[in-house]
């Protein structure tokens, strides 16, 4: 009803529409946009919230057992999504003419009660570290037993960032050694220096491990402090316990035998052995003149690991583009289908259904695929739809896709990702954090303006939420990529309602068995996101130039590398 009313207003003419817009918000959920194929508007209008509902309901049934990677629920979810792609008429884009891309995972599980660590310095008695309360660690090499006895070198923030003229690794040989680092990045209010208060990828703990591994380190330990990490030790402790499904290493890929954390207290013990303390090193690390500090202390460790091979699958489908040349380029849509499977019971329920997280995003993905496939006139570039696995294990399925894309990343125009949507109806705002860093930004703003949707800025740039969902795996590899999320300003709801339901979900249902489907859910917000996304994507799929990251962005070098590979490939 709401939408029809708006069509009438728009039909009354530009002048009338302008007048009305000046007086009250006018939303046209499916506006006419320059550069969109004529049928795209109809496709956006055909987005059906009841189809989204049907997908969410099915994917979050107890029958699918929480969709844990490598389980029966995994197979059922993947087959369901592939079947939907087939019914909608999409082409298979997986291996051997199927809709599936196999994702080999190696799940490692540190055997905690048999793991031993001690600190050793010349002349002193070894100091034992208690696993769990002082140190945690896991293996990234897929070996059943890791051993170490090697010197520890403090390398500050562990950052090498030529664009900021910053190198914590200057003049150090880390081969076979242990890097000790702090998490986060040098503090600054200058937006031109590590983006000021916003967290860049250099500040994330995953980066610390990757960079040190590139320098040949055998082990990396991060000294935890609550201010630098942004969360307490118990968060580290719990995410380092249990099984960790990792991507199987490619031949020659550097990896750490030990990737872990020290508590602040354990860090103090270690530093005391070399005449330093934590606060002093936190200070020293903030200087551009910082040089790595060999601590004269060895860490001795023995860590047995339980290993389980898991085979899971991404589900991949495609709608080829209509332009003979541009069809070799694509827009890529992603949403993770996996959730946490069966786990510890809460109130007698052990199935982690993951209805919001992320049956909702998968449902949007499938509905977008159906709408795109029904376009009578296809956009010039191709569209690829990827339901990825093992997001909850650390973006593993999307990382695998980035390593094994259907079309080369240098020819991937854009990635739009969908992860976890509140089922409470349409909002007057959306979040598209990261979009402002790409050349797609003008299109995003234009679609938002015409739909009369506000773009809500990231409320907590210092938390680096951008680095925590699947689009990041593609951004990291250079593809302009971001998630589209609903905002918090709900239509027809009182102020504060959005914040209230968000907090309630986070507290009571996020990653819990109670994240279940309910018949009274309102799928209007997901309809809105799908309409918003398809208009951005069809516009990008039709435009002349390939999008990229803005000048100076941390992902631009990767984009330029993949572009050069493409140019090199074409010359052959």
| Interacting residues with Zn ion (CB under 5 A) | 357
What is the smallest separation between the CB atom of 153 and Zn ion, expressed in angstroms? 35
What is the smallest separation between the CB atom of 388 and Zn ion, expressed in angstroms? 13
Q: What is the dihedral of CA 18, 22, 25, 30, to 10 degrees?
A: 20
DSSP reduced 3-state for 482 = strand
What is the smallest separation between the CB atom of 356 and Zn ion, expressed in angstroms? 9
468 or 561: CB nearest Zn ion:
468
- 45 exposure class (CB count in 10 Å sphere: 0-12, 13-18, 19+): middle
Whether 572 contacts 470, CB under 8 Å: no
Q: Which candidate, 412, 411, 410, places its Cα nearest to that of 334?
A: 412
30 or 393: CB nearest Zn ion:
393
Residue 121 half-sphere exposure, CB side, CA atoms within 13 Å?
Answer: 14
DSSP letter for 397, please: H
Structure tokens at 562: 């993949």
Residue nearest to Zn ion (CB): 357
Whether 338 contacts 400, CB under 8 Å: no
C-alpha 310/C-alpha 467 separation (Å) is: 25
What is the smallest separation between the CB atom of 69 and Zn ion, expressed in angstroms? 13
- 424 exposure class (CB count in 10 Å sphere: 0-12, 13-18, 19+): buried
Give the DSSP letter string of 492-524: TS-TTHHHHHHHHHHHHTTTSTT----TT-B-H
67 or 559: CB nearest Zn ion:
67
What is the smallest separation between the CB atom of 142 and Zn ion, expressed in angstroms? 25
356 or 402: CB nearest Zn ion:
356
What is the smallest separation between the CB atom of 336 and Zn ion, expressed in angstroms? 8
106 or 359: CB nearest Zn ion:
359
210 or 357: CB nearest Zn ion:
357
400 or 505: CB nearest Zn ion:
505
What is the smallest separation between the CB atom of 242 and Zn ion, expressed in angstroms? 15
What is the smallest separation between the CB atom of 391 and Zn ion, expressed in angstroms? 7
- 27 exposure class (CB count in 10 Å sphere: 0-12, 13-18, 19+): buried
What is the smallest separation between the CB atom of 416 and Zn ion, expressed in angstroms? 18
What is the smallest separation between the CB atom of 116 and Zn ion, expressed in angstroms? 33
94 or 354: CB nearest Zn ion:
354
C-alpha 502/C-alpha 357 separation (Å) is: 13
Phi, psi of 351 (to 5 degrees): -95, 120
Whether 77 contacts 552, CB under 8 Å: no
What is the smallest separation between the CB atom of 17 and Zn ion, expressed in angstroms? 41
Give the DSSP letter string of 182-224: ESS----S-TTTTTTTS--GGGSHHHHHHHHHHTT-SEEEEEP
What is the smallest separation between the CB atom of 353 and Zn ion, expressed in angstroms? 12
What is the smallest separation between the CB atom of 511 and Zn ion, expressed in angstroms? 6
29 or 66: CB nearest Zn ion:
66
Separation in Å, CA 346 to CA 240, 284, 515, 518: 21, 46, 11, 18
Strand segments, DSSP code E, in 418-538 are 429-431, 454-455, 481-483, 485-486
Q: What is the dihedral of CA 489, 492, 498, 500, to 10 degrees?
A: 150
Angle between helices 360-373 and 38-45 (to 10 degrees): 140
DSSP reduced 3-state for 435 = helix
Q: Which residues pair with 226 in a beta bridge?
A: none
DSSP reduced 3-state for 357 = helix
* First and final C-alpha spacing in the chain: 57
99 or 505: CB nearest Zn ion:
505
Chain centroid to CA 253: 22
What is the smallest separation between the CB atom of 419 and Zn ion, expressed in angstroms? 8
139 or 357: CB nearest Zn ion:
357
Whether 136 contacts 239, CB under 8 Å: no
329 or 357: CB nearest Zn ion:
357
135 or 340: CB nearest Zn ion:
340
74 or 357: CB nearest Zn ion:
357
- Nearest 5°: the CA angle 109, 111, 117 is 115
């Amino acid at each position: 009803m709401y939408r029809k009313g708006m069509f009438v207003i728009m039909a009354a003419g530009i002048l009338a529409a302008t007048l009305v817009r000046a007086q009250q918000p006018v939303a046209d959920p499916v506006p006419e946009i320059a550069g969109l194929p004529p049928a795209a508007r109809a496709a956006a209008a055909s987005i059906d919230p009841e189809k989204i509902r049907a997908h969410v309901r099915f994917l979050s049934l107890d029958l699918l057992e929480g969709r844990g990677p490598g389980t029966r629920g995994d197979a059922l979810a993947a087959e369901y999504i592939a079947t939907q792609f087939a019914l909608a008429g999409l082409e298979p884009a997986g291996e051997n003419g199927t809709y599936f891309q196999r994702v080999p995972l190696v799940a490692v599980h540190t055997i905690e009660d048999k793991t031993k660590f001690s600190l050793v310095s010349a002349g002193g008695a070894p100091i034992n570290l208690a696993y769990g309360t002082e140190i945690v660690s896991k293996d990234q090499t897929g070996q059943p037993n890791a051993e170490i006895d090697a010197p520890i070198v403090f390398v500050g923030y562990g950052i090498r960032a030529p664009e900021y003229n910053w190198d914590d690794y200057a003049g150090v040989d880390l081969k076979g050694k242990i890097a000790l680092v702090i998490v986060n990045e040098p503090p600054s209010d200058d937006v031109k220096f590590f983006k000021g208060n916003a967290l860049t990828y250099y500040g994330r703990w995953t980066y610390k491990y990757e960079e040190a591994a590139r320098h040949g380190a055998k082990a990396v330990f991060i000294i935890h402090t609550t201010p630098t990490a942004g969360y307490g030790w118990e968060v580290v402790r719990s995410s380092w316990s249990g099984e960790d499904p990792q991507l199987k290493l490619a031949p020659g890929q550097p990896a750490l035998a030990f990737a872990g954390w020290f508590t602040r207290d354990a860090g103090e013990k270690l530093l005391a052995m070399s005449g330093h303390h934590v606060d002093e090193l936190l200070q020293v690390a903030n200087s551009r003149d910082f040089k790595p500090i060999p601590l004269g202390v060895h860490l001795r460790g023995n860590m047995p690991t339980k290993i389980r091979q898991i085979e899971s699958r991404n589900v991949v489908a495609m709608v080829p583009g209509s332009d003979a040349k541009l069809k070799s380029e694509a827009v890529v849509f992603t949403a993770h289908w996996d959730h946490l499977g069966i786990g510890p019971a809460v109130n007698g329920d052990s199935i982690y259904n993951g209805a919001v997280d992320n049956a909702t995003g998968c449902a949007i993905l499938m509905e977008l695929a159906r709408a795109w496939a029904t376009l009578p006139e296809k956009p010039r570039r191709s569209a690829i739809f990827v339901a990825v696995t093992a997001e909850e294990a650390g973006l593993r399925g999307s990382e695998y896709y980035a390593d094994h894309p259907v079309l080369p990343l240098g020819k991937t125009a854009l990635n739009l990702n969908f992860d976890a949507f509140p089922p409470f109806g349409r909002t007057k705002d959306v979040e598209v954090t990261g979009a402002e860093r790409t050349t797609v930004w003008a299109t995003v703003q234009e679609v938002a303006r015409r739909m009369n949707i506000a773009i809500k800025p990231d409320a907590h740039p210092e938390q680096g939420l951008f680095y925590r969902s699947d689009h990041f795996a593609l951004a990291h590899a250079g593809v302009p990529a971001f998630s589209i999320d609903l905002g918090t300003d709900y239509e027809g709801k009182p102020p504060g309602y959005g914040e209230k339901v968000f907090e309630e979900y986070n507290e009571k249902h996020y990653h819990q068995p109670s994240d279940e489907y309910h018949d009274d859910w309102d799928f209007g917000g997901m309809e809105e996101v799908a309409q918003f996304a398809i208009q951005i994507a069809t516009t990008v799929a039709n435009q002349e130039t390939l999008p990229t990251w803005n000048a100076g962005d941390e992902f631009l070098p990767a984009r330029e590398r993949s572009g050069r590979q493409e140019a090199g490939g074409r010359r052959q």
